[in-house]
């Protein structure tokens, strides 16, 4: 029995009045606190400032093959970047393409091209089919869902469990419906749950039978090196698992340095089978003569090798971990006794995913906004912005300062308490 169930209506009303008083006091402070998007804070951006001074002279502007990077060429990236990022993604340099500044951009390109031309081995362009659908484990990343919505790709929700998507649901859908052409996955420190897929989930994704022969896994490994602890989650290599299962062309893997160096000015990449990459590059070569090689070279010179990258990410963690800890501590102290409220404790990534009782998230987010706290809109973590249980709230603790974060989470907890109490009185 929760504490609310043991209280009489009169006592509930008195408690509600005192919570509302607290809320009004926050409101009168005219706060402006933003926890809507997973943006690094200024201290994190400062960690990469030295990168900007690394390319000074003509001699600095040659790649490891001796090519002058000031000129056109290198559609799929400079060799230095392929070697470095292939190691980061645990693939071979032949299985990687280095792109521009945004992995979301490459994901959008991949899907747009699939609609126009299909993917390697497609019997027809996807847009020529009566319908195309994607499996969307949810809660998930709103911008993945936006791409599908824009391209008129239907979205089928499957539940996220503690070790990844509900594979019983995924196998059933992918195995029976040929219009299902793919699945979105954020396999490590997922957005927003912070979950890392188990080996079993990876193996089942790699090995499952699919009704569409050209089914693809969109493996968005955005948080591959973004650990918060010294004992990171381990993620099985999906490319190897797919090859071993006889589906070598099943995966498109994506990542970027947006949250390693500078969001919007990082380096993005895609890894996939050589067949897939060659098919993709044919179309890419019409779209562009090549990406920004200066940025690629700068990144490799700055991040250097696996150990330097690790040390750099530890500096990010030193800034981020106290913020995550603060959020988790306040959630525990303010809401720990509410059995209908739950949250995940991630070992990395950028988010904490909070579930309120059903039917409360929209009201909580709106109320927090009244007190000057901006959260990701309720529902955004589901396709079409529709959380069927209206309960998921994504918290992005990275950008605000510790003191701002403390206030913002206290306000959020207060709003949750008020909304729960109001509902129990109605």
- Distances in whole angstroms, Cα of residue 65 to Cα of each of 74, 84, 215, 305: 11, 14, 37, 18
| Smallest distance, ligand PLP to C-beta of residue 65, A | 26
Q: In a 10 Å sphere around its CB, with 0-12 CB exposed, 13-18 middle and 19+ buried, how is residue 372 labelled?
A: middle
**Residue of 256, 261, 376, 407 that binds ligand PLP (CB under 6 A):** 256
Considering beta carbons, is residue 44 or 103 the nearer one to ligand PLP?
Answer: 103
DSSP type of residue 137: E
Considering beta carbons, is residue 186 or 309 the nearer one to ligand PLP?
Answer: 186
| Smallest distance, ligand PLP to C-beta of residue 38, A | 5
| Smallest distance, ligand PLP to C-beta of residue 42, A | 17
Residue 320 binding ligand PLP, by CB under 6 A: no
Which string of x and - marks every residue 150-189 that binds ligand PLP (by CB under 6 A)? ------------------------------------x---
Residue 191 binding ligand PLP, by CB under 6 A: yes
Q: Is the dihedral of CA 297, 300, 303, 304 positive or negative?
A: negative
Cβ pair 214, 181 in contact under 8 A: yes
**Residue of 141, 184, 280, 382 that binds ligand PLP (CB under 6 A):** 141
First-to-last C-alpha distance (Å) of the chain: 19
The Cα 105–Cα 269 span in angstroms is 10
| Smallest distance, ligand PLP to C-beta of residue 220, A | 5
Residues of span 266-285 touching ligand PLP by CB under 6 A: 268
Contacts of 56 (CB under 8 A, 6+ apart): none
**Residue of 196, 258, 398, 407 that binds ligand PLP (CB under 6 A):** 258
Q: Which residue reads 């009169």 in tokens?
A: 10
The alpha carbons of the chain give a radius of gyration, in whole angstroms, of 23
Which tokens hold the place of 89?
A: 């993604």
Q: In a 10 Å sphere around its CB, with 0-12 CB exposed, 13-18 middle and 19+ buried, how is residue 301 labelled?
A: middle
**Residue of 74, 77, 263, 346 that binds ligand PLP (CB under 6 A):** 263
Residue 381 binding ligand PLP, by CB under 6 A: no
The Cα 353–Cα 340 span in angstroms is 14
Residues of span 211-230 touching ligand PLP by CB under 6 A: 220, 222
**Residue of 23, 26, 35, 38 that binds ligand PLP (CB under 6 A):** 38
Q: Which residues sit at the interface with ligand PLP, rule CB under 6 A?
A: 38, 102-104, 141, 186, 191, 220, 222, 256, 258, 263, 268
């Amino acid at each position: 029995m929760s504490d609310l169930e043991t209280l009489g209506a009169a006592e509930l009303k008195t408690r509600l009045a005192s919570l509302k008083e607290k809320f009004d006091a926050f409101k009168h402070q005219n706060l402006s606190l933003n926890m809507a998007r997973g943006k690094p804070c200024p201290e994190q951006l400062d960690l990469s400032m030295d990168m900007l001074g690394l390319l000074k002279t003509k001699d600095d502007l040659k790649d490891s093959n001796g090519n002058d990077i000031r000129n056109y060429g290198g559609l799929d990236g400079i060799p230095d970047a392929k070697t470095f990022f292939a190691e980061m993604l645990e693939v071979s340099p032949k299985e990687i393409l280095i792109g521009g500044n945004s992995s979301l951009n490459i994901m959008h390109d991949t899907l747009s091209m699939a609609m126009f031309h299909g993917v390697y081995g497609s019997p027809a362009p996807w847009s020529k089919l009566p319908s195309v659908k994607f499996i969307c484990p949810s809660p998930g990343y709103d911008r993945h869902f936006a791409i599908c919505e824009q391209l008129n790709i239907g979205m089928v929700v499957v539940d996220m469990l503690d070790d990844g998507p509900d594979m019983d649901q995924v196998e059933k859908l992918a195995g029976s419906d040929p219009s299902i052409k793919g699945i979105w996955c954020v396999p490590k420190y997922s957005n927003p749950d912070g979950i890392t897929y188990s080996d079993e989930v990876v193996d089942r994704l790699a090995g499952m039978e699919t009704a569409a022969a050209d089914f693809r896994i969109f493996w968005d490994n955005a948080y591959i090196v973004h650990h918060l602890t010294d004992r990171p989650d381990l993620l099985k290599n999906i490319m190897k698992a797919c090859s071993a299962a006889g589906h070598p062309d099943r995966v498109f893997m994506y990542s970027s340095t947006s949250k390693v160096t500078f969001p919007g000015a990082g380096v993005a990449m895609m890894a996939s089978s050589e067949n897939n990459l060659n098919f993709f590059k044919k179309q890419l070569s019409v779209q562009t003569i090549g990406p920004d090689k200066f940025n690629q070279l700068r990144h490799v010179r700055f991040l250097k090798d696996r150990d330097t990258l690790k040390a750099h990410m530890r500096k990010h963690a030193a800034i981020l971990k106290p913020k995550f800890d603060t959020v988790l501590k306040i959630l525990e102290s303010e809401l720990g006794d509410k059995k209908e409220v739950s949250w995940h404790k991630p070992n990395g990534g950028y988010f904490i995913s909070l579930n309120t009782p059903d039917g409360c998230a929209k009201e909580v987010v709106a109320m927090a906004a009244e007190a000057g706290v901006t959260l990701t809109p309720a529902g955004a973590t589901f396709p079409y912005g529709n959380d069927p249980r209206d309960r998921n709230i994504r918290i992005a603790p990275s950008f605000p300062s510790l003191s701002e974060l403390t206030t913002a989470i206290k306000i959020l907890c207060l709003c949750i308490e008020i909304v729960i109490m109001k509902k129990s009185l109605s």
